[in-house]
Amino acid sequence: MIKVEKNFAQGMFSIKGKVALVTGATGALGGAVSKAYGYQGAKVVMTARNTEKLKALESEFKAEGIDCAVITGDPAVEADMKKAVEFAVKTYGELNILTVCHGFNAPKGILEQSVEEWQKIMDADLKSVYVVCKAAAEQMVAQNKGGKLVVTSSARSKMGMKGYTGYCASKGGCDLMIQSMASDLAPYHINVNTINPTVFRSDLTEWMFDPESAVYQNFLKRLPIGRLGEVQDFVGLATFLASPASDFLTGGNYDATGGYWAC
């Protein structure tokens, strides 16, 4: 007899009632994930450095019936992220999901980029991930209910690129750190995985989506799926890795590249 429980099969992608903390919530991916989680019935705490933008998101989401709250903080500052986790618990009683969507880059080659600017990239894209994951993991361990840590990395974590010496290093380090972190936290039933996207549409990347541009045409040479990423393409994987359907998956770096890694 095939042993698949009906209740599990029907609800394995559900995050309804879960409490999720999303960093980088004012960005394109963080905002999309926050809204998607909210639409699915999760209680969403959004954090970013811009208070005004956070308040605007809170008003927009609440107008659509999404249960949410916001707190300003810098993900690279330990005290800020501890405060964000404490705020989530104070507001909703616990923390079940952390989804990391913040990031920073300043593309320059090694001959042009100062050590200080390189360090800023490492702090924003690597140290900050450790900081917020540690704060969330400590809370999840104390709750003794398991949890999900979903971290946005990059397709560039596995592939170098001219001018991306800092960014590629930070994302490569992020992938390996997450694999190690997954091993640390597995005994506590906390799953830790990354999503590794290529270019997704945002205010910062909109110029790259011009089908007549050389940049767009060059990208398509390495994208078997035939287009760049839209935020809708991201939220499904972010939900899957936050849901019971991914309970057996940890330490993974999940391709969200439209096939870029495949060719």
CA 179, 118, 76, 206 dihedral sign is: negative
Q: Which parts of 46-151 fold into alpha helices (H)?
A: 51-63, 78-92, 115-122, 128-143
Structure tokens at 15: 């995050």
The answer to whether the CB of 57 falls within 8 A of the CB of 70 is: yes
Largest CA distance in the chain: 64
Given the residues 37, 92, 164, 167, the one annotated as active site: 167
Question: Would you put residue 144 in left (φ > 0), alpha (ψ -120 to 50) or beta?
Answer: left
By the 10 Å C-beta count (0-12 exposed, 13-18 middle, 19+ buried), 31 is classed as buried
Q: Is 167 a catalytic residue?
A: yes
Structure tokens at 28: 């394109």
By the 10 Å C-beta count (0-12 exposed, 13-18 middle, 19+ buried), 166 is classed as buried
Strands 43-48 and 68-72: parallel
Mind telling me the catalytic residues? Answer: 167
